[in-house]
Structure formats: C-alpha cells, structure tokens
Structure 1
Amino acid sequence: MAVVTNGGVDLYYEAKGEPNPADEVEREADTVAFVNPAGYGAWVWGWQHAALSSGFETVVWDLRGTGRSDAPDGPYSAETLAGDLEAVLADHGVSDAHVVGAGLGGMVALEYAHRYGRAATLTLFGTAASGNRVDVDALDSLFAPRDDPAALQASLRNAFAADIDAHEDVADEIVGWRREEDADREGFEAQAAAMCDFDRSDSLYEITTPARVYHGVDDAVVPADAGRDLADGLPRGEFTAVEGGHLCFIEESAAVNDALLADFDARA
C-alpha cells in the first residue's frame, strides 16, 4: 500500500499487475483505476483486478471515509472525491487510465473525466447522471456496522439480485472483507451524501470520454432506466444491461471481466 495526502487527507491506494510484455497491442492506457461504491472498501473490485492484473496495472484505493484513508467530517462531494482520485493517479505517475466506477464511484468517474485529463475511458456500473434517481432507502440499507456480522450479511440483500443467503460461503467471505475495509456510519453517510447530491444531468454533453454504462437489471439502488438515460446523454456513451443487482459486476464477474477486456482492447 502507498499513501498520498490531498488537502491534509491521507489516502491509501494499492497498485498491482503490469502490462503483459508479450502483448503487442499498444493501448491508449495500460492502467485501470477503480472507484468504489458508497461505503464499500476496495474488496468490491477483487474479481476485476484479479482478472485484469495479468495484462494491465490495476489501482484500487480507499475513498476518504473508508478503510485506512482518513475520514474527515462530511458531507463529501463527487468533486472532492474526484480530486482525491487525481491525487492518487498523479502520485503513482499514471498518465492515462481506464477509470471504472460503481454507484457513487461512477459519479466520481464522471466528475473526474470532466475535470481532469487522465481518463482514457469510463466504465460505469449502477450509475445515474443525478442523485435524484437514487433510492435513498435502498442505499441506506447497504450499510451495516462492521462489528455485526449478521447485519453485514443482511445488508447485502439490496446489493445483489441473487438470494445471498443461498450462497453462504461467498457471503461469509464478503462479510469478512467488509469487517476489515468498509466505512463506519459517519463515513458512509458522508459518501452517500455525495451520491445523492450529485447532478450532471444538464451537462453530460461536456463529458466526451468514451463511456460504457453497465447496469444490473434488478438494481434496487439505482434503476436500470437511469443507466440507460445516462448512456443516452453521454456523447460517446453505450449501454449494456447485466443480470444482477447494484453489485452486478460481482454477480456476473466472469461475463463482466470478459467485456471489460474486450472494451479496453477495442479502444487500443
């Protein structure tokens, strides 16, 4: 893990993997930077950066309010979190990156692409152009205290479309990661405020970065129609429906990972 300080806030990040020297494709970017959903630690991207790290460098980080990063008082904003991402990538010496975000992380990715010059592509999961498309109650239901394993497992029910209780081994593993890495109540609320207050609905045309919007058809937090509207509003946006819920990139990780690799190589 490395740490960078942005405006007095320490941010922890980790980079793994590297471009495959045997790969003769010259890509626009060989780094993939992930931005977490509200409240979740970097564990949520484990299925993706494990699949990508043999051909790409992957960067995961603890958003302010999460994990080992500092947790200043909220509320936060997508603009502030985009500035944190810029600090991480600049500190690591990344010139261009594929930026992948989910939920709040997708909103941060949109803001980042608008404000900074390092985003080669955007990949967005369960994201809307405006926080008014977010089901606030469903979002709040994703939180649970880190010292309560039963509550942590129960709070996964609105994150997935599948019955999490029927997948005990996976649920137990996720609960273990959440106990170590997720935000506490204050950090979650500060991040949730950034998600609900976000609004780029009238200025999506300014974000010309190539963007692929994936959306779980049974997303309880952000309706799939919001993802379609987001893709329609982006000048270079494309929409792909995915079976699953808000964390569809975990539920359908094999199909999503294949699609990501194909997307990144197609944009080489």
Structure 2
Amino acid sequence: MRETTVTRGDIALHTRVDGVDDPAAPTVVFANSLGTTLHLWDPVMDLLPKGIRYIRWDKRGHGQSSVPDGPYTMGQLIGDAEAVCDALDVRDCVFVGLSVGGMIAQGLAVKRMDIVRAMVLSNTAAKIGTPAIWADRIATVRAQGLEAMAGGIMQRWFGPDFCATPAVQPWQQMLIDTPLEGYLGVCAAISGTDFFTPTSGLRLPTLGIAGSEDKATPPDLVRETTNLIPGSSFALIRRAGHLPCGEKPEEYAQILTDFLTRTGTVPHVT
C-alpha cells in the first residue's frame, strides 16, 4: 500500500495504491460516492484478485483531499480523475465508479479512451435526480447540517437489515465527517449532469451493478443507463442498498472479480 498526493492546480488529491505498485500491471481505478472517502472500498479490497494495481482517491471536498469553494462541476470531478490517472501512468484500466463515481466513469470514458478500457457502473445513472431535487437537498443540508440528516441518508445507503445493526455507525460517521462545502459542491455537480447522449455513444465492456433496496439509484435506473451501451451486462445484489460494496462485500467482490476475469484483467497464472 502506498499513499500519495496528486496535485491539480491548487487542488491536492489524496490517493492510495494497493496491490501491485507497478504501472505495467493490470489496473483497476475506483471512484467513490457522495459523502464517502476512498475507504468506501475497504470491505472488498482483500477479496479481490492478486496481481492487480488498485487505485482510489478522495474526491475534492472529501476525505483528505482539498476542499475548494463550491459549487463544483462534473467537468472538474472528471478532470481530477484524469489527473490522478495521468500522474500514476494509468492506461487501459477498468474503471469502477459508484454513484457520482459512476458519472465520473462515464465522463472519463468519453473523454479519455486511452485511460478507460472497461468500466463498472455501480448504483449510478446517466442522470441522477433533477435540478429541483438537488437544489432542495443543498438548501436542507446547508440549513440543518449533515449530522441532522445522517439517519435518513443511511436509509438510502443501506437496506433495513444492515441499518438495524451497529455496522452502520462507521458509515454514518464517514458522512458526518465530510466537509459541508465539499458535500454541497459535489451535489451541485450531480445536479447539472445529464450523460444520456454521450454514454449512449460508448462502446466498451461495461457492467452495471445495483442493489435491490437502493432508494437513491433504483435497479431500473441503473439498468436503463447500463443498457445504453451495447453488449453490457447487469448484476443485481439483493437485500442491499446504495453502497453494496460495504453491505454485501463478498457478493460484490465476486461480481467484480468475474467481470475482471471476463475482460482479461486478472493476470493469467500458469
């Protein structure tokens, strides 16, 4: 494991490399959801294949990355992903994006075909919500703060079984610890994004993953976006919400491993 900082202008992006720390190795890049850090992926990391370089970073306004004044744009978030990939010599990767991370995946795949060879669109869509819904979310969070809303957000992030256990507490704390300006900045970026047309022009191996209990990006929404790309596949994780990698890590890791195998990413062992 190696932690590093990627600088893009006056923005510092906290980045972590796990697995094989070699640009020549097959590479998987992870992009996180709103209100989470790169530790979103901790539950699955030890369950994934060996021999691969795994890269993740904290979005601007989240975790240990810089918190510039908002609002942010999706173009800025995609540019940050591009900067991380260029700094670490990433080419022909499998890009795994969850929620807003899946929007970043779509945008980067359109912009940089040399970086993204295949992608996983997890609990995401070409368009999430409406500007009016996001304007209401921004106003409410600014007025009440994340702590007051954390319980309701957990109900969207996870299924009822998981929410009834103490395992939900670290995730709730991760949300509460998110800088307010960073959270609101990314909300604004999601609000202004509609990738239906550019995503429908993509031609690359794609897997969609949804949680049956996801109230933020329901399975039909994820499937609709995944189906924009010919030849794509879709997996449904039952009794899981918006963050199935945290709620059902074994099942999530198996689905991801199967996709990495199908796309030739898992190194061949003789």
TM-score for the superposition, normalised by structure 1: 0.84
**Conserved? CA contact 1:153–1:171, under 8 Å:** no
Choose the corresponding residue for 1:246, options 224, 234, 242.
Answer: 242
* Aligned CA distance change for structure 1 residues 202 and 105 (closer, same or farther; 3 Å): same
Q: Map Cα deviations across residues 83-128 of structure 1 (whole Å, 9 max, x no partner).
A: 1111111111222211111110000000010001211211111111
Choose the corresponding residue for 1:130, options 127, 132, 138.
Answer: 127
Choose the corresponding residue for 1:86, options 82, 85, 92.
Answer: 82
**Structure 1 position 14 matched with structure 2 position 9:** no
**Structure 1 position 167 matched with structure 2 position 165:** yes
* Aligned CA distance change for structure 1 residues 135 and 241 (closer, same or farther; 3 Å): farther
* Aligned CA distance change for structure 1 residues 19 and 227 (closer, same or farther; 3 Å): same
Choose the corresponding residue for 1:197, options 178, 185, 192.
Answer: 192
SS of the aligned residue for 1:250 comes to: helix
Choose the corresponding residue for 2:220, options 209, 221, 225.
Answer: 225
Residue in 2 that maps onto 1:187: 182
Q: Map Cα deviations across residues 157-195 of structure 1 (whole Å, 9 max, x no partner).
A: 221013344211x2234345556xx52221111111212
Choose the corresponding residue for 1:43, options 29, 39, 44.
Answer: 39
1:231 and 1:175 mapped to 2: Cα distance? 29
Choose the corresponding residue for 2:118, options 100, 104, 121.
Answer: 121
How big is the shift at 1:263? 0.8
SS of the aligned residue for 2:5 comes to: strand
SS of the aligned residue for 2:210 comes to: strand
2:17 and 2:241 mapped to 1: Cα distance? 28
2:149 and 2:46 mapped to 1: Cα distance? 28
**Conserved? CA contact 1:32–1:98, under 8 Å:** yes
Q: Map Cα deviations across residues 214-237 of structure 1 (whole Å, 9 max, x no partner).
A: 111221112221111111111342
State the Cα RMSD in Å: 2.8
Residue in 1 that maps onto 2:91: 95
Q: Map Cα deviations across residues 130-176 of structure 1 (whole Å, 9 max, x no partner).
A: 13469947x959x7967x5x8646642221013344211x2234345
* Aligned CA distance change for structure 1 residues 119 and 56 (closer, same or farther; 3 Å): same
2:234 and 2:130 mapped to 1: Cα distance? 17
Residue in 1 that maps onto 2:65: 69
TM-score for the superposition, normalised by structure 2: 0.84
**Conserved? CA contact 2:35–2:175, under 8 Å:** no
**Conserved? CA contact 1:79–1:112, under 8 Å:** no
Aligned-residue sequence identity (percent) comes to 26
Aligned length: 255
**Conserved? CA contact 1:153–1:172, under 8 Å:** no
**Counterpart residue identity of residue 165, structure 2:** H
**Counterpart residue identity of residue 40, structure 2:** V
**Conserved? CA contact 2:110–2:198, under 8 Å:** no
Q: Map Cα deviations across residues 43-79 of structure 1 (whole Å, 9 max, x no partner).
A: 2111222322633211110100111111112222222
2:108 and 2:8 mapped to 1: Cα distance? 15
Unaligned runs of 5+ in 1: 21-27
2:196 and 2:69 mapped to 1: Cα distance? 27
2:49 and 2:246 mapped to 1: Cα distance? 17
Unaligned runs of 5+ in 2: 265-270
**Conserved? CA contact 2:72–2:186, under 8 Å:** yes
